[in-house]
Amino acid sequence: MYFLQGRAKIFPFDCPLISNPHLLTILSHFWPSRLDVSRFPVERRLFPTEPGVSVLVETQHPQGSPAGEVVLVHGLESSSAAGYMKSSAQAVLEAGFSAHRFNLRSCGGAPSKTGYHSGLTSDLLAYLRFLRSETRAPIFLVGFSLGGNVSLKLAGELGGEGRELLAGVCAVSTPIDLSACVRRLEHPSNFIYHRRFVLRLKRRIRRLSPEIQGLNSIKTVREFDDRITAPAFGFRDAEHYYTTQSCWQFFDEIRVPALLIQAKDDPVIPFAVFERPGLFRNPNIRLLASEHGGHLGFLSRRRPRFWLGSALVEWMRSLSNTPSRASRQPCAALTSMPCPTHTRNSGKATGEVLMDHISEDELDRYAARSLPAARTAAVEEHLLICEFCQDRLDLTEEFIAALRAAVQQRRRAAKKKDS
C-alpha cells in the first residue's frame, strides 16, 4: 500500500492483466470502457478560450452535490472519447465528483483554425478560471500522456496562484522530457505507435490547413514538429520546442499537491527521465512508479479492472477530505456470500450503511467460527477483489499480502488434489 501526500491510500499496481508492456498498452486502448450516460448525462459545450478559438468540453455530474470537480486532459492526437478518459470519468463520477473531459484545441471534432502543442496551456487555464468562478468546490486537474505535460507545466507556470485554482494535479504516463521521449518513440520497437501518431498528426493538419504542401514527405514526429509545429507557434525548430515546453523544468514552481503515476516499462517514455538528480526536490510532488503498466495500460487482473480510476479517486479523496461515498454499491459477490462487514449492516439500506472498522483478529474469529472451510475461502477471495470491502475494512498491505499467500497456497493444494 502506498501512502502519498497526507492521507492518500493507494494500493499498488502489482497485478497487471499481462506483463508485456506493448500488449498491455495496445490492449488497454481497445478494452471496452463503460461510461454511464443515462445515470450521468453528458453536457457538451464549445468553450471560447480566446477570440476565434473554442474547445470542446464534455461535462457530467454525480447525483447530489459534487465532492469536487475533475478536469481530464487527453494525450497526443486523442480526445474525450478515449477509453482512459471514459473509464476515469466513470470512476470519479461513481465517487461523487463531477467530470469534465477537456479536449485540446482542434480535438474531439471541435472547429478550429489552429492546432495545439505539448505545452499550450492557455486554453486549459481559461477553462479552469471559468470553473473556479462557477464553484468553490475543490478542482483537480488530471492529464494523460501529453495532457500530463500540459497539466504539470500549467501548475508550474501558475506558481502560488495555483492554490487558488487547484486542489491538486495528477499526470499519468507523462513525457516530462519531450526530446528524450520522441527519441524513444522513434525506436524500431515502437514502430506501431510512431506510425500511428505521424499519420494522425498529418491528417489533422490536412483538415486544418489543406494548403500546406509536403506532408507526404514527413516520416517522423520530429520532422513534423520541425516543419509544422515549431514554425506555427514561433519556435526555432523542434529541439527548441521540446526544450522550452517540457514540463520537468517547471517542477520547482509547482505549489499544489502533484502526483505522477508512471510505469517503469512504458515503451514510449524512458524511466530514466524520472531519475534525473534533484527532479523531485519539491515536496509537493510525488512519483508513484510501478514495475508494469506500459503506456496508459493499467489494466489489472483483479477488480477494479481499471486500477487507474481507483487510484485517482483515493488521491483526490485524501486532498479534499472526502470520505468514501456510502452510496457505492458492493460487488455482485455480496448477494450470494455473507461478507462479515455487510452482514453486520444487512438491516440497513446501502446508502445508509455506516461501516465500522473490523480488526484482523475479529475477521479471523469470524472466518474460523462462523463459516465452513469453503465459505472461509470464498470470503478470502472476495476480500482480495472487492474494493468496497478493502476501503471499509482499511486492510493493511501486510494483511492483503498474507491473504494473497493463503489463497495461492489453497489454490495449489486444490490443483494438486485434482491432478
Same domain as 173, residue 30: yes
Alpha helix positions (H), 59-190 = 83-94, 122-134, 146-158, 162-165, 178-185
pLDDT at 378: 58
Q: Which of 298, 320, 342 delimits the end of a domain?
A: 320
356-383 pLDDT tens trace: 333 444 444 444 444 445 555 556 666 6
Query: What Å distances lie between residue 12 and 151, 186, 263, 315, CA to CA?
Result: 23, 30, 11, 13
Nearest to 273 by CA among 148, 140, 88, 124: 148
Contact in structure between 380 and 339 (CB atoms under 8 Å) = no
pLDDT at 295: 98
Domain count for the chain: 2
Q: What residues in the chain have per-residue pLDDT under 50?
A: 1-7, 325-372, 392
In a domain, 203, yes or no: no
Contact in structure between 33 and 90 (CB atoms under 8 Å) = yes
Same domain as 385, residue 314: no
- Give the three-class secondary structure for 363: helix
Distance between CA atoms of residues 124 and 126, nearest Å: 5
Distance between CA atoms of residues 151 and 173, nearest Å: 12
In a domain, 217, yes or no: no
Contacts of 151 (CB under 8 A, 6+ apart): 73, 124, 141, 142, 143, 169, 170, 171
pLDDT at 394: 53
pTM of the entire predicted model: 0.77
What is the Cα 273 distance to its own chain's centre?
20
pLDDT at 320: 79
Same domain as 400, residue 309: no
Contacts of 362 (CB under 8 A, 6+ apart): none
Same domain as 402, residue 381: yes
Compute the radius of gyration of the chain from its Cα atoms: 23
pLDDT at 348: 34
Written as nine digits, the cell of 360 is 484482523
In a domain, 338, yes or no: yes
Distance between CA atoms of residues 402 and 384, nearest Å: 11
In a domain, 221, yes or no: no
Contact in structure between 222 and 238 (CB atoms under 8 Å) = yes
Angle, helices 307-320 vs 83-94, to 10°: value is 40
pLDDT at 345: 40
- CATH of residue 70: 3.40.50.1820
In a domain, 257, yes or no: yes
Query: What Å distances lie between residue 7 and 3, 311, 321, 354, 397, CA to CA?
Result: 7, 13, 9, 20, 15
Same domain as 356, residue 378: yes
pLDDT at 386: 60
Residues in the chain: 419
pLDDT at 213: 87
Same domain as 158, residue 46: yes
Distance between CA atoms of residues 90 and 182, nearest Å: 31
pLDDT at 358: 34
In a domain, 210, yes or no: no
47-89 pLDDT tens trace: 999 998 999 999 999 988 999 999 999 999 999 999 999 999 9
Same domain as 336, residue 315: no
Query: What Å distances lie between residue 140 and 92, 143, 155, 331, CA to CA?
Result: 11, 10, 11, 27
Residue with cell 487558488: 164
Same domain as 339, residue 308: no
Domain assignment of residue 383, given as a range = 332-418
Q: Which of 293, 320, 347 delimits the end of a domain?
A: 320
pLDDT at 334: 33
In a domain, 189, yes or no: no
In a domain, 239, yes or no: no
